[in-house]
Amino acid sequence: MAVFSEEIITRMEEAECQAEQQFREIDRVVDKNQFKVIEAFQKHHVSDFHFAGSTGYAYNDRGREVLDLVYADVFGAEAALVRPHFASGTHTISTALFGVLRPGDELLYITGKPYDTLHKVIGKPSDGTGSLQDFGITYDDVALCADGTVDWDTVASKITSSTKVIGIQRSRGYDWRASFTVEQIGEMVKRVKSLSPNCIVFVDNCYGEFTEEQEPTEVGADLIAGSLIKNPGGGLAETGGYICGRADLVELAANRLTAPGIGGEVGAMLGTTRGIYQGLFLAPTIVGQAIKGSILAAALFERVGFDSKPRWIDKRTDLIQAISFSSSEHLIAFVQGIQRAAAVDGHVVPEPWDMPGYDHPVIMAAGTFIQGGSLELSADAPIREPYIAYMQGGLTYSHVKFGLLTALQTMKDRKLL
């Protein structure tokens, strides 16, 4: 049995008591989303024969076809493309953007620079990597205001006749800012459409699914994308991603994933279908467990003197809990403590390394059943000032609690508290 100091146990008990009201609100959101998912399954008469795998071209794979319909209903969209063939969230987003953008078009992100791994997708003009800009698609972004809101004056000045897609990143990425709520995204969509009615509004929905009662496509977003090894996979989907939105835009993305004229009509599911269905069924509850863990993390670490964003009392719109530390030693101890609490690879000690797609060395706690599965308890951070750790996930609240206790005890043992 792990041994934790009495001081740390007391702090944990105090944090749990403090967060009780927030936990009840999360349970209410879980119920609403769970009912919505079940009703979508029932509407489309999901049965066990839908879980059968397919091979080869996989024409007429009814399980795959119904899965798309279920996702479209759950996300309030006209259509959906849900496939194990997406290698990551970045691949899914890239597919969506390449699907709808053409040479001469512009992609304009209005929530600042997107997450680090998308930088190489955007690329530089004529960089030879096959990036967006290598294909003559221009890119620009608008930094957020100091208070974390969209700088609408600058947005209005930057939208031109070439601006085809407006990008919104729902989650904070590696920024010390609040993530955007669905209500805020709905207001962004209205403002964008008032400035340029024909612009496609695309939302990177990673980490946000089922944290609120609605999704961005239910408040006007034209296209959204996310990863199945994050929220909607429920910890069971072994790989994959989804794209939801307007039917014509989803079809363009499908053509990019496979080939023009083929689109979403083929694609062997190779035994993944049941896990994707069942993961979606479990997702609202598992996401609720993870959010409770994030609230607990904020309450606990605020009690021992560290800043957190969001704070324990703030509204939640994604899984990510950012905690700011005073040194790289604090940050590394925290991440290594989270790893020590893992059921898988708990014996491994993570160290900073040059991870593909990132601009700085990154330390990552990833003791997960699904490699990179960030609905499972994990934590990562770029080794740069300010020293901020980003914790996410937790298939069970108890695991998150154990991870936080272990991380705090690791810091105490190293005389960092």
Look at residues 269, 296, 316 and tell me which one is the last residue of a structural domain. Answer: 269
- Work out how many domains the chain is built from and give that number: 2
Q: Is the pLDDT of residue 174 over 80?
A: no
Q: pLDDT tens across 29-53, in order? A: 999 999 999 999 999 999 999 999 8
Q: Considering the domain boundaries, does residue 51 fall inside one?
A: no
Mean pLDDT along residues 180-198? 98
Q: Does one domain contain both 109 and 256?
A: yes
Q: What is the pLDDT of residue 117?
A: 86
Q: What is the pLDDT of residue 412?
A: 96
Query: What phi and psi values does residue 83 have, to the nearest 5 degrees?
Result: -145, 145
- How are beta strands 378-382 and 362-365 bridged, if at all? antiparallel
CATH code for position 187: 3.40.640.10
Q: Does one domain contain both 133 and 222?
A: yes
Q: What is the DSSP letter of 118?
A: G
Q: Does one domain contain both 67 and 94?
A: yes
CATH code for position 375: 3.90.1150.60
In whole angstroms, give the CA distance from residue 187 to residue 181.
10
Mean pLDDT along residues 383-394? 93
Q: pLDDT tens across 145-161, in order? A: 999 999 999 999 999 99
Mean pLDDT along residues 350-378? 89
Q: Does one domain contain both 84 and 230?
A: yes
Its domain, for residue 139, covers 56-269
Q: Does one domain contain both 142 and 11?
A: no
Mean pLDDT along residues 72-101? 98
User: What pLDDT band is residue 61 in, cutting at 50, 70 and 90?
Assistant: very high
Residues 6+ apart with CB under 8 A from 220: 186, 189, 190, 193, 201
Share of the chain above pLDDT 70, in %: 99
Q: Does one domain contain both 107 and 256?
A: yes
Q: Is the pLDDT of residue 8 over 70?
A: yes
Q: pLDDT tens across 300-353, in order? A: 999 999 999 999 999 999 999 999 999 999 999 999 999 999 999 999 999 998
Mean pLDDT along residues 140-145? 97
Average pLDDT, the chain: 96
Q: What is the pLDDT of residue 2?
A: 79
Share of the chain above pLDDT 90, in %: 91
Q: Give the Cα-Cα-Cα angle 71, 235, 356 (nearest 5 degrees).
A: 95
Mean pLDDT along residues 357-382? 90
Q: What is the DSSP letter of 353?
A: B
Mean pLDDT along residues 117-132? 91
Q: Does one domain contain both 184 and 159?
A: yes
Query: What phi and psi values does residue 168 have, to the nearest 5 degrees?
Result: -130, 125
Nearest to 221, CA basis, from 148, 178, 173, 168: 168
